[in-house]
Amino acid sequence: MAILKNLTVNDTGFEQLPAGTTAQRPGTPTVGMVRFNTDTRVVEVYTSAGWVAYDDQQTATGGTISTAGGFTIHTFTSNGTFTPTYTGPVDVLIVAGGGAGAPGIGGGGGAGGLIYNQGVVVSGGTGYPVTIGPGGGAGPTNHGPDGPAGSPSSIFGITATGGGGGAGYYTPNNNSNTQGGSGGGGPGYGFGPGIRPGSTGTSGQGHPGGYGVHWPGTPAGTHYGGGGGGGAGEVGYNKYGNWPQAQAFDGNSSWDVTLAGISSGGNGMVNTMSGSATYYAGGGGGGNHGPGNNYGWAVNTGGLGGGGHGTGGNGNPATFYGGGGGGAHHPGNEQGGAGYQGIVIVRYKSS
């Protein structure tokens, strides 16, 4: 085999590349190899990302198509199929449905799991199914079980986990059955005083929910508060801090009054896949005790990224992709807020 350097072909004819099927690619390729793929009908180059199409007609079908910043963007807000005409890399954002907040001093819903991958290599002509997970529904009223969890979203065999539901009033220890992409907030009541952790998130996708609190204290009386749901960017909050040392709180200090009403959801994460900086997957705020308690009716805000507020009434629903719903207050016959559905965005360099 001859090794040539700085070769110039001064001719008006052609230079013929090696050609073959995908299965006939070299078994041990090295960066810089060039060949014509007879299956995909494009010239392909071996790079650090694998075999990549050398093709000025990079196109695909599926979803709502837009362009921004030199990229072609496919946005899926319902189930569908992404089908590229070329073989090469894409970037992908996958957000699962958020969990619902719980009723009756319930925890806020956890945000849907968020996954952002760059350089995923797709094959020309292959249809890739897209699944969009719905958010957890508003669920039962009054004191009750955990809020419903969100559902997963997926593409390219990559799955983001649905958000965990907020823990309900009667959950005795924690809402360990509602782990999610981000965890739901802990319950604001249970079988005796104490601080109850929220559920955990999925590593690389989200964060745990905040503590829920049932604490007898004076002079304001017994204090209750559901924890905020975890978000893609941070843990959920709770009235009495997010640390184990909070269990030593005696219920009498001004700190109690100062921190009342901040069982907020954890913030989501900002991403520019859509063409602009956008927050996704914020946790829902925890629910408070209602009238007759100094801590009732305070608004526990949802995290940036669409988390629903926990209020002195029904928990507010999440408002953007992957957001967790807000927990509801008590007394009353209130519902936790519903979680918001997920989204999948795929982009590649425009032709």
Element containing residue 159 per DSSP (H, E): strand 158-160
d(C-alpha 37, C-alpha 54), whole Å: 11
Answer whether residue 177 shows pLDDT above 70: no
At residue 159, the pLDDT reads 98
227 neighbors 286 (Cβ within 8 angstroms): yes
Answer whether residue 239 shows pLDDT above 60: no
Name the band, by pLDDT with cuts 50, 70 and 90, for residue 91: very high
At residue 271, the pLDDT reads 95
Name the band, by pLDDT with cuts 50, 70 and 90, for residue 332: low
At residue 78, the pLDDT reads 98
Write out the DSSP string of 281-336: -PPPPPPBB-TTSTTTT--BPPPTTTPPPB-SSSPPPP-STTPPPPPP-BSSS-BP
Stronger pLDDT, 312 or 7, i.e. the higher one: 7
d(C-alpha 232, C-alpha 215), whole Å: 29
At residue 66, the pLDDT reads 96
At residue 253, the pLDDT reads 38
| % of the chain exceeding 70 in pLDDT | 77
78 Cβ neighbours under 8 A, 6+ residues apart:
132
At residue 129, the pLDDT reads 98
In this structure, the dihedral spanned by the alpha carbons of residues 241, 242, 248 and 249, taken in order and rounded to 10 degrees, is 20
Residue boundaries of the structural domains of the chain: 19-54, 58-351
Answer whether residue 174 shows pLDDT above 60: no
Answer whether residue 9 shows pLDDT above 90: no
- Least confident segment among 35-44, 84-93, 166-175, 237-246: 237-246
Return the closest-CA partner of residue 37 out of 125, 150, 153.
125
Answer whether residue 7 shows pLDDT above 70: yes
Answer whether residue 130 shows pLDDT above 90: yes
Name the band, by pLDDT with cuts 50, 70 and 90, for residue 262: low
At residue 158, the pLDDT reads 98
Answer whether residue 259 shows pLDDT above 70: no
At residue 86, the pLDDT reads 85
* CB neighbourhood size of 288 (10 A): 29
| % of the chain exceeding 90 in pLDDT | 39
Mean pLDDT of 310-322: 78
Would the pTM count as exceeding 0.75? yes
Name the band, by pLDDT with cuts 50, 70 and 90, for residue 137: very high
Amino acid at 249: F
